[in-house]
Amino acid sequence: MKKTPLHGELAVPGDKSISHRSIMLGALAKGTTRVENFLQGADCLSTIDCFRAMGISIENHADQNQVLIHGRGLHGLTAPGSVLDCGNSGTTTRLISGILAAQPFASELTGDASIRKRPMGRIITPLTAMGADISSINGNGCAPLRIRGQRLTGIHYQSPVASAQVKSSVLLAGLYADGTTTVTEPYLSRNHTERMLEGFGAKMTCDGTSASLTPPKELFAQEFAVPGDISSAAYFITAAALIPGSELLIRNVGVNPTRDGILRVYRDMGADISLLNERTVSGEPVADLLIRGSLLHGTAIGGSVIPALIDELPIIAVATCFAEGETVISDATELKVKESNRIAVMTEGLSAMGADVTETEDGMIIRGGRPLKAAVIDSCLDHRIAMSFTIAGLLCGEMPDIRGGDCVRISYPSFYKDLQKIVSGNGMSDKIYFPTCF
Ligand code: S3P
């Protein structure tokens, strides 16, 4: 089937990881931090709710994506009156735990059914080594968690996983520790916490895969602009890169080298992606992306690039089904402990659509080039699964019946609206399934 090229331009919403951190550091800084282009995704709203429950006044001007956080300093949090609800957000749960470990009060954290299945042992272990009193209430290593604040000591933690959530949890606990806190990871994960801690006035030393924090006396309020989320841009980058004749401009995308793995891999596969107007905004590299459609070929994806594209692997898996030849994704076991088991769910869904995909111990093998067709897909309430299969539908010209598609509100509430904008005028609107809630 001849695909209709995509033309136009858009700006995706603010980065999820950076939006979370802006609330956390804004709450712990003295004075009012103003955040522009804040992501109004459900996960980031969970972070706002948790800090409001700990006495921080936060004004969310959602119509302008602007948030004002009236920070009360490092020691300004107050005991929450009830259990803190992190919703679907692993970042909220793990990062807040690091902060709570050092507060002069006890607290409990929980979340939705998915969060209550995700591994928290990875933060319980290092925080306990720092002197924290943190436990899994049901004894299964998952939330709900009970934390009784303690005096902490800095450690050098050799993390067995390349995880920014683990690294950030330990570094945030380190804000309160006696002495320096260092985290070394097997590969470098996203370094937004390190960059932002520096921006708020802390002293960070970063060397290779190690990050060290010297506890500051205080953090200082900032004016902050969140770059567009490359993980949200990924869906439109993929659609445009794979349809020959397309030319799409995505403005204001964060291109931090710890997050740009998708650009590197797509270029390896033959994609035509240019970075325009490269600049630094609030300590983060940002660019406008110009994507021109072409024919892509398979590749090998593994090793140190994995943390730099971990959230994009579902959509990259879709892309490789439309590329010529074989793609091997390896070293990606972390995908099994995301909002869903993304290796199993992608393999099942893509196979149902007719793709040639084999699940492996640590990834997938995809032989591209087979025609795909619509199928019933269970999103497992995982936002990245819902968006990936929507793009699979766009690329094969037949929209799958995606169950629970409104879960995109977790990271990209305007996803279907933006998609509609891009496809309208290309004669494809009638083929796109838009959940009624949008
Ligand atoms: C995130 C880190 C990643 C990523 C998640 C957000 C963060 O998780 O998958 O969506 O904001 O630190 P891990 O660090 O656990 O891999």
Residue position matching structure tokens 């793609």: 327
Residues labelled catalytic: 311
Return averaged pLDDT per consecutive 10 residues of the chain, 438 residues in all: 85 98 98 98 98 98 98 98 98 98 98 98 98 98 98 98 98 98 98 98 98 98 98 98 97 98 98 98 98 98 98 98 98 98 98 98 98 97 98 95 97 96 71 50
Which of 190, 231, 258, 387 has most ligand 1 atoms within 8 Å of CB, for mutation?
Answer: 190
Tens of pLDDT, residue by residue over 336-385, are 999 999 999 999 999 999 999 999 999 999 999 999 999 999 999 999 99
Tell which phi-psi region holds residue 303, choosing left (phi > 0), alpha (psi between -120 and 50) or beta: left
Cα gap 341→364, rounded to integer Å: 13
Report the sign of the C-alpha dihedral through residues 299, 269, 252, 394, in that order: negative
**CA-164 nearest atom, ligand 1:** 14
**CA-338 nearest atom, ligand 1:** 9
Which of 17, 120, 305, 412 has most ligand 1 atoms within 8 Å of CB, for mutation?
Answer: 17
Measured in Å, residue 183 CA sits from the centre of ligand 1 at: 16
Measured in Å, residue 163 CA sits from the centre of ligand 1 at: 6
Measured in Å, residue 247 CA sits from the centre of ligand 1 at: 30
Q: Give the three-state DSSP class for 234.
A: helix
pLDDT score of 4: 85
Residues with a CB atom less than 6 Å from ligand 1: 17, 20, 91, 163-165, 168, 189-190, 310-311, 334
Measured in Å, residue 95 CA sits from the centre of ligand 1 at: 10
Which of 310, 316, 342, 382 has most ligand 1 atoms within 8 Å of CB, for mutation?
Answer: 310
**CA-310 nearest atom, ligand 1:** 9
The residues near 124 (Cβ < 8 Å, ≥ 6 apart) are 134, 135, 136, 141, 145
pLDDT score of 2: 60
**CA-17 nearest atom, ligand 1:** 11
Nearest CA to ligand 1 atom 4: 311
Measured in Å, residue 91 CA sits from the centre of ligand 1 at: 6
What pTM value is reported for the model? 0.97
pLDDT score of 151: 98
Q: Do the beta carbons of residue 93 and residue 124 sit within 8 Å?
A: no
